[in-house]
Amino acid sequence: MKNKVFSFFLTVFLLEGFLVSAQEQMPFGDEIHAFKKADSIQQPPTNAILFTGSSSIRLWKDLQQAFPNRIIINRGFGGSSLPEMIYYADDIIFRYNPKQVVIYCGENDIASSDTVTSEMVNRRFQKLFSMIRERQPNVPVIFVSIKPSPSRWHLRAKMIKANSLIKNFLATKKYTAYVDVWKPMLNKAGTPQEDLFIQDKLHMNAKGYAIWKRKIEPLLLN
């Protein structure tokens, strides 16, 4: 009997070790592990608004200060795309049971390969959205549109179409909002305002985030 019990716990131990190892081998596994470690040291706040997605969220260092009257959790990671968000959804969304979810993702999907279409990005987002709805049917979801990054301006047609598809999809769903940051980040000539970005022409500076704050804040729960 003791041998059977020992064998059972050994199997569980080895399986858990395999799963942890597999996750760490996935893209951005080290960042997900860091989130878990931080959560174990300090319990995450309850009844919080969760911001998640790719590096435009991750690099929003003063996110809590931008919305001082709300409780914010930032779980942006890496240069993530929607498949990574789907894979890590338990770790970056559901474990926090947020009262509202703000998502920025999809830009890296389009930039990752010429084979990724606007329709694929929309389908990926719909998959993530359906997962959220299955777990939290009434949680409000905000999608921040793909932004017009100067370094990726050649991909603008795909990005505009993906934004439109996701906007139309969300219009059919309850407790959702679509935030258009594309137009406010263009100049009068209809091209990206380069002074909103840091040197890499991909990530934003404080002026860029100020536009996001202005567009997002009216939609956040109190």
* CB-count exposure of residue 23 (10 Å: 0-12, 13-18, 19+): middle
Rounded to 5 degrees, what are φ and ψ at 67?
-130, 70
- DSSP bridge pairs for 38: none
Taking alpha carbons only, the member of 86, 94, 153, 92 closest to residue 120 is 86
Q: Which amino acid is at 137?
A: P
For the chain, which residues make up each domain, given as ranges?
1-43, 44-219
- DSSP bridge pairs for 101: 50, 141
Q: Could you tell me which CATH number the domain at 44-219 has?
A: 3.40.50.1110
pLDDT higher than 70, residue 184: yes
pLDDT higher than 70, residue 4: no
Rounded to 5 degrees, what are φ and ψ at 10?
-65, -40
Contact (CB, 8 A) for 98 and 114: no
Cα 183 to Cα 193: distance, rounded to the nearest angstrom:
10
Please, which pLDDT band fits residue 17 given cuts at 50, 70 and 90? very low
| Model pLDDT for residues 133-183, shown as the tens digit of each residue | 999 999 999 999 999 999 999 999 999 999 999 999 999 999 999 999 999
Please, which pLDDT band fits residue 25 given cuts at 50, 70 and 90? low
What is residue 6's predicted lDDT score, i.e. its pLDDT? 39
Task: Tell me the HSE value of 60 on the side-chain side, using a 13 A CA sphere.
Answer: 28
pLDDT higher than 80, residue 55: yes
Instruction: Please provide the average confidence, as pLDDT, over all residues in the chain.
Output: 91
What is residue 23's predicted lDDT score, i.e. its pLDDT? 46
- Torsion over CA: 41, 105, 55, 214 (sign): negative
**Residue corresponding to tokens 């996110």:** 63
What is residue 26's predicted lDDT score, i.e. its pLDDT? 77
Please, which pLDDT band fits residue 12 given cuts at 50, 70 and 90? very low
